[in-house]
Chains A and B, each alone.
Chain A
Amino acid sequence: MKGILFAFLGGAFITLQGVANSRISQGIGTWQAATITQLTGFIMALLILLVVRDGNWQGYKQVKPLYLSGGALAAVIIFGNVTAIQQIGVTFTISAVLIAQLCLTLLIESNGWFGLAKRKMRLPQFIGIGMMITGVLILKF
């Protein structure tokens, strides 16, 4: 039950984040919104890290630089997300984001790129993505 509540709130927060970013970018600009919100988040995460000490900073030596720099993608992600929400609304944006996200993950996992264990694409995954695209079409028309 507690797990369900966490997952439910997690989803709510992700949507809230997109909406808040859109609102803030109307006030001060999109790059500014992305810069400020991530700076506060960064400081908070750093403070938590200092308190809980679950982390292993030295671990970064064992990770490829490409993977370490993944966070930088967020600049483009936030810019795209915010602009899309302003143009086509929250529901349509999030639906499209989720479909693209699942498709790309599926593509990467089925090819075993980035050293991931290869997972075969299976029928339910195609049906699932087909249903999601159908849902988006229903949403729009």
Chain B
Amino acid sequence: MIAGLLLALISGSLVGLQNIFNRKVNERMGSWATTALVLGMGFAASLTFGLIFEGKRMLPLHNMQPWYSFSGLIGVGVVICLVQGVRLLGPTYAVSIVLTSQLGFALLWDSLGWFGLDKIPFTYNQLIGVLVIVGGILVFKFGSERENRNFAATS
């Protein structure tokens, strides 16, 4: 469990870092050029790591199924939704809803165990846990927004 938790924490930190880098690229190149660049870099890096760690075993894809490659399109859907969401709602509202929806669907997925993942039975503890996390996200996002606005007004 500790290994899984550590990996998740490392992933999350890198997501935070990547978001900041992407924001910088986005300012100059626009969202689709940025998306193409980011996914292209990710592709090249994954291929390189795969070849380093697995060598020749990397390439013959024995159990390949057609839908595997289509699932890459989900990432494109993410970009469309996030860009439109932020444009229509502003970052604070949009990101709060995105994070909440992410957690809600995670809970749904665990309890349904679709796609052959291990099913983690739904408990009220999990629901309460997720609700407290969502509460934390809202306090984090909206609390700081209000304070910053006050700060801007007074300075």
Q: Which residues of A contact B (CB under 8 A)?
A: 2-4, 6-17, 19-24, 26-29, 31-42, 44-46, 48-49, 52, 54-57, 59-60, 62-64, 66-81, 83-105, 108, 114, 116, 119-120, 122-125, 127-141
Contact = CB atoms under 8 A, between A and B. Distances in A.
A88 B4 contact: yes
Given A73-B14, A128-B136, A100 B103 contact: no
Contacts of B115: 19-20, 22-23
B28 A91 contact: no
A83 B62 CA distance: 21
B147 A3 contact: no
B89 A31 contact: no
A123 B77 contact: no
Contacts, number: 450
Contacts of A127: 136, 139-140, 143
Nearest to A105: B16
A127 B5 CA distance: 22
Contact of A70 (B41, B80, B126, B146): B41
Contact of B72 (A41, A52, A76, A99): A41
A105 B94 CA distance: 17
Contact of B33 (A6, A55, A74): A55
A28 B64 contact: yes
Nearest to A10: B81
A83 B7 contact: yes
Interface string B100-112: 1111111101100
Contact of B71 (A24, A59, A128, A141): A24
Report the 10 A-B pairs with minimum CB-CB distance, sorted nearest first. Answer: A124-B143, A128-B140, A11-B101, A71-B41, A100-B12, A3-B88, A70-B21, A40-B72, A139-B129, A55-B33
Given A45-B35, A128-B143, 12 more contacts: A3-B85, A10-B98, A12-B101, A15-B109, A24-B71, A37-B74, A42-B42, A42-B72, A67-B21, A68-B41, A84-B8, A116-B20
A55 B30 contact: yes
Interface in B33-66: 33-50, 53-54, 57-58, 61-65
A49 B12 contact: no
10 contacts: A22-B117, A24-B71, A38-B43, A39-B69, A74-B46, A91-B106, A122-B148, A127-B139, A127-B140, A132-B137
